[in-house]
Amino acid sequence: MAFWDKFRESAQTMQTQLMAKKNELKSGAFRDASMAMCALVAAADGTVDQSERQRTASLIASNDVLQNFAADDLQRRFNAYVDKLTADFASGKVSVLQDIGKASKKPAEARAVIQIGIIIGGADGHFDDNEKATVREACRALGLAPAEFDL
């Protein structure tokens, strides 16, 4: 239980950090990378069932930082990334990681994308090994050290 308490506290800290930078997080690269990250975390085990898709979409819609963007646009982009991953996970993952990597030009956005991935991954009360590995891959795509995020 101590691990989960520490994780929940860390996720709350990340959300606070994201809110402090909300006005900086308005680019198309951030929007796309965030939706790609959400889809990648949702599909971390290789599949995305309908309830997982709906739960993640709900988390996206309720995230204050992502409210810089139109909810229907975010939903459409998230679904498109999930569709890529479910059609062919291996090639879809390469494409999605490339889109995540486009946020690397702005360090604040790159870190925010990772923080969103961690928040989404742990939202169900369990940040599993597949989700952690997926976020580590995204860190590498963004040129960030996974250790910076305790991964």
Domain ranges, ordered by start, for the chain: 2-143
The 10 Å Cβ neighbour count of residue 49 is 11
- What predicted TM-score, i.e. pTM, was given to this entire model? 0.85
Q: What is the pLDDT of residues 106-143, one digit of tens each?
A: 999 999 999 999 988 887 777 889 999 999 999 999 99
Identify the band that residue 4 occupies on the pLDDT scale cut at 50, 70 and 90.
Answer: very low
For 15-38, b/e burial (b = at least 16 CB within 10 A) is beebeeeeeebeeebbbbbbbbbb
